[in-house]
Chain A
């Protein structure tokens, strides 16, 4: 999975996600989740890391199960679940369908995120999906600054606490200093990047261009043609 072209991988997995969204079948959702987990582990991600990432997902999935179970649209209502559920119209089945959707989407999302190099992904989007270079540079700059921003947020909050001032996590008095920093960083970064030739207009060449290989085409065909055809035929 790690060696696949990020743009091809993104489009293929996006297609799988949209297919799952349209067929509403817990079997396919749970299968997608299980396959995603196996592929993530096969790509060398530590089981403990994966498990920690999945804790909020499991909590959200259980939450969605109870929501689906307790609040299924009744037959007297304008929208009836049996018109949208392949597997039946019981409350439990509605809960399982809701739960399995959360797991499937999260599984595929993590499969992409945990097996893709971020910098190569942006470069691949620029090359294969024709993302304008000014946006590619903006994304890379913002991605580089993210750890500093999270640290700055915690520092600002701690500074208020040290002065005995209680602030809500999204209060304007907490956001204002953070935003001042952001504007300053964005100006300094853009000047620094432009001085190094990363401007909106100047064209640059790649020492190692991101290319599409046969395996990328095979993966795209598998995800966009074979899997949907199988899903349709089995129903």
Chain B
């Protein structure tokens, strides 16, 4: 029985993949703004900062799914599913997007594992986002050749990425997860068990 409970159910997997889709849609919505800012900063050599500001959006699916489902492996698998969806969409970052998803998911998963999947609050969520940001930055030193750039620029980029990760995948995801729990729609997931559920919103009633 215990083994059956641990197995992934189709409902969980679809939810994780759909969360990846939600944040892909959100990223597309903010991408134009990032691109415009990046273009404006190009003459100063600071184009990367345009995307660093919104970088935290990429980790949102992983942290929010883990916050809702609260099972080992959720952050890692959600981030990989989200990256596979990016691959299906046609990604300008190349085919290593799946590897990128694995690294980002690993960062968040490591933090939740360090808390033994027992601490689900804004601190663990912020740390999960920051760990994802740190791991993916280490990979980009090699993959995007950042290693040949000035260390002062890299420190600046990493700082902005940390703030973005803490804000979006930490603060915004915690608030969104709590708001979602209050609606009652996630009462079948772990987050629903500890939530103060109000009136359950149901489209059928309207």
Contacts and interface: CB of A to CB of B under 8 A. Distances in A.
Interface of A: 10, 13-14, 17-18, 21, 24, 53, 56-57, 59-60, 62-64, 66-74, 77-79, 81, 84-85, 94, 97-98, 101, 104-106, 108-110, 112-114, 118, 121-122, 132, 134-135, 137-139, 141-143, 145-146, 149-150, 153, 157, 169-173, 175-176, 178-180, 182-187, 189-190, 193-194, 198-200
Name the 5 nearest CB pairs between A and B, nearest first.
Answer: A63-B47, A70-B45, A113-B90, A105-B94, A142-B17
B21 A109 contact: no
Contacts of B81: 135, 138-139, 142
B2 interface: no
A223 B26 CA distance: 35
Nearest to A154: B29
Contacts of A104: 94
B25 A146 contact: yes
A66 B44 contact: yes
Given A59-B39, A183-B185, 5 more contacts: A66-B44, A84-B145, A139-B84, A142-B18, A143-B85
Interface stretch (B109-117, B120-128, B129-137, B147-155): B147-155
A183 B35 contact: no
Contacts of A193: 10, 14
A176 B24 contact: no
Interface string B54-97: 00010000001000000000000100010011011111111111
Contact of B95 (A13, A68, A79, A135): A13
Contact of A121 (B35, B88, B94): B88
A132 B84 CA distance: 14
A153 to B, nearest CB: 5
B41 interface: yes
Interface residues of B, number: 74
B26 A17 contact: no
Nearest to A178: B22
A145 B28 CA distance: 15
B179 interface: yes
Given A138-B14, A142-B21, A180-B180, A200 B87 contact: no
B159 interface: no
Contacts of B176: 172, 175-176, 179
B195 interface: no
A77 B11 CA distance: 52
Nearest to B35: A56
A73 B95 CA distance: 28
B168 A63 contact: no
A89 to B, nearest CB: 9
A179 B181 CA distance: 10
B147 A180 contact: no
A72 B26 contact: no
Interface string B23-56: 0111011110101001101111111101000000
Contacts of B35: 56, 59-60
Nearest to A93: B148
A85 B57 CA distance: 32
Given A66-B44, A176-B180, A142 B20 contact: yes
A114 B91 CA distance: 10
